[in-house]
Amino acid sequence: MTQYETVIGLEFHAELKTKTKIFCSCPTDFSAEPNTHVCPVCLGLPGVLPVLNKRAVELAIKAGLALNCQISHLSKFDRKNYFYPDLPKGYQVTQFPLPICTNGYLIIKDDAGNDKRIRINRIHLEEDAGKLVHSGTTIATSAYSLPDYNRAAVPLIEIVTEPDLSSAEEAKNFAEMLKLTLQYAAVSDVKMEQGSLRCDVNISLRPQGQKELGVKTEIKNLNSFRSILRAVAYEQTRQTEALDNGERIIQETLTWDDDNGTAFSMRSKEDAHDYHYFPEPDLVPTIVEQDWIDEVAKELPELPQKRKYRLVDQYGLSDYDASTIVNNPVLALFFDRVLYHYDDPKTVANWLLGEISRLVKSSEEEIEMISLKPDDVAYLLTQVKEGAINNNSAKAVLEEMFQTGKEPDAIIKEKGFAQISDTSALQDAVKAVISANPQPVADYRQGKKQALGFLLGQIMKATGGQANPQAVREILINALDNE
């Protein structure tokens, strides 16, 4: 049986987080009532002209920098021509020969767990199309379809990798790392399920050791990491079987059917579109000076890869804990903010991944929605460290903070959680316990050290658990030894 090597390239579309559309001032929020965020420009009425949104260019540059790309000082827009009712002008304004970013890469883990560099061919800027709502399942089988142009001309970047990926797992790893990187760069909402990040997979097989690439197919409509994994595995199996049976792979575009776990053909190469690309005459070339690139670079935060190294190498967190924090940018930012006021990374990580994560999970809220303030958490941890409150009380205070958004100090006072560290108050309690328990006291003085635990427990009980155990221990030992 021939052994095959799988060759995979990915294409992503990410919606840019701009306030307004790419060529007009309509809002980009397309969840509004259909056709309310539209104007003559994004509806493509006769005679209107596009004016390029500067922020869209900036975010594309930022994405390029985050993905280690070269930023083009000169790029330009082209028209990609095809007829479809969701495309108001009959062409999409995109970038063909001169994209805004080229030659980037991302490092992911390969199947053996080693670092692998995946090259990015290009990133180009373009406009999104509108959305069709069909009365049936497809445009061909529906009695009618209703176009909604709210999404038309929302700015997109298309990210195209080189065919550097070799397995379904790698494809998924890349997609996850890309999503995370774009999330940190804050260029896109990257929600696959909502379509703000979309992925197409190009896949081909070749006999192990062969140089030239096999015939590829393209799979569209992948809207989760899981579907990337499943679709690649499906297509790998399909192509392997076909090749083993001596069949030839047909170059075609497939649509992934996630419900049934299969892909079906949309069109073959023969009826592939000829898009008649040509330069968009209504826009002037986009000139990006180095100064501008430098300005944008200042907006970039620490990116996930670097951030993880910091957590592991500098702070000594475990690889697992560091990944858990870094993989969630909100959590990672929260971690840094707490750390800013409370310089003990391990403790902060323990609380964040323990108690706080538990609270978030049980509340069924997204972490970005919670009202917990990093400053307050740092304050609470400081109180624990200084012995003003014990661990168990701190957990209760945290929960109250989480539920009500109140400040920790107020909660500690309100609930009377403050530990009794006041020596005279504790001394009274110690005296009372010693005189009420002569037998254990005698036992201790005769060398039965375990009697100390009983006496400590009695004091904690007497003080309602609020005594500072450390202080109590010292006073008790002192009293037993010296009196």
Q: Which among 95-103, 245-253, 275-283, 372-380 is the span making contact with another protein, rule CB under 8 A? A: 275-283
Q: Confirm or reject binding of residue 242 to another protein (CB under 8 A).
A: no
Q: Confirm or reject binding of residue 250 to another protein (CB under 8 A).
A: no
Which tokens go with 1?
């049986």
The residue (of 105 and 277) whose beta carbon lies closer to another protein is 277
The contact mask relative to another protein for 82-121 (x = CB under 8 A, - = no) is -x-x--xxxx------------------------------
Q: Confirm or reject binding of residue 79 to another protein (CB under 8 A).
A: yes
Q: Find the shortest distance in angstroms from Cβ 155 to another protein.
A: 16
Q: Which among 224-232, 274-282, 339-347, 359-367 is the span making contact with another protein, rule CB under 8 A? A: 274-282
- Answer whether 66's CB lies under 8 Å from 305's CB: no
Q: Find the shortest distance in angstroms from Cβ 254 to another protein.
A: 22
Q: Find the shortest distance in angstroms from Cβ 157 to another protein.
A: 20
Q: How far apart are CA 262 and CA 9, in angstroms?
A: 20
Q: Which among 210-218, 272-280, 292-300, 347-355 is the span making contact with another protein, rule CB under 8 A? A: 272-280
Q: Confirm or reject binding of residue 283 to another protein (CB under 8 A).
A: yes
Q: Confirm or reject binding of residue 282 to another protein (CB under 8 A).
A: yes
Instruction: Give how many residues touch another protein by CB under 8 A.
Output: 31
Q: Confirm or reject binding of residue 147 to another protein (CB under 8 A).
A: yes
- CA nearest neighbour of 123 among 153, 159, 90, 95: 159
The residue (of 147 and 465) whose beta carbon lies closer to another protein is 147
Going from the C-alpha of 375 to that of each of 214, 331, 338, 410, the distances in angstroms are: 56, 14, 6, 14
Which tokens go with 118?
């995946």
Q: Confirm or reject binding of residue 51 to another protein (CB under 8 A).
A: yes
Q: Confirm or reject binding of residue 309 to another protein (CB under 8 A).
A: no
- For residue 2, the tally of other CB atoms under 10 A from its CB is 11
Q: How far apart are CA 423 and CA 425, in angstroms?
A: 6
Give the SS3 label for residue 422: coil
- CA nearest neighbour of 228 among 192, 195, 204: 192
The residue (of 150 and 239) whose beta carbon lies closer to another protein is 150
The residue (of 91 and 417) whose beta carbon lies closer to another protein is 91
**Which of 29, 32, 45, 453 touches another protein (CB under 8 A)?**
45
Q: Confirm or reject binding of residue 136 to another protein (CB under 8 A).
A: no
**Which of 20, 68, 103, 145 touches another protein (CB under 8 A)?**
145
**Which of 31, 114, 115, 140 touches another protein (CB under 8 A)?**
140
Q: How far apart are CA 101 and CA 59, in angstroms?
A: 11
Which tokens go with 179?
């999503």
Q: How far apart are CA 316 and CA 256, in angstroms?
A: 43
Residue 183: exposed, middle, or buried by beta-carbon count in 10 A (0-12, 13-18, 19+)?
A: buried
Q: Confirm or reject binding of residue 46 to another protein (CB under 8 A).
A: yes
**Which of 1, 3, 33, 47 touches another protein (CB under 8 A)?**
47
Angle between helices 423-436 and 469-482 (to 10 degrees): 60
Please tell me the number of Cα atoms within 13 Å of 124 on its side-chain side: 20
The residue (of 46 and 438) whose beta carbon lies closer to another protein is 46
Q: Find the shortest distance in angstroms from Cβ 151 to another protein.
A: 15
Q: How far apart are CA 141 and CA 104, in angstroms?
A: 42
Question: What is the rounded (10 degree) CA torsion for 319, 321, 327, 329?
Answer: -130
466: Cβ contacts below 8 Å, ≥ 6 apart = 390, 393, 416, 417, 418, 419, 420
**Which of 20, 68, 81, 350 touches another protein (CB under 8 A)?**
81
The residue (of 1 and 140) whose beta carbon lies closer to another protein is 140
Contacting residues toward another protein, per CB under 8 A: 40, 43-52, 79, 81, 83, 85, 88-91, 139-140, 145, 147, 274, 276-278, 281-284
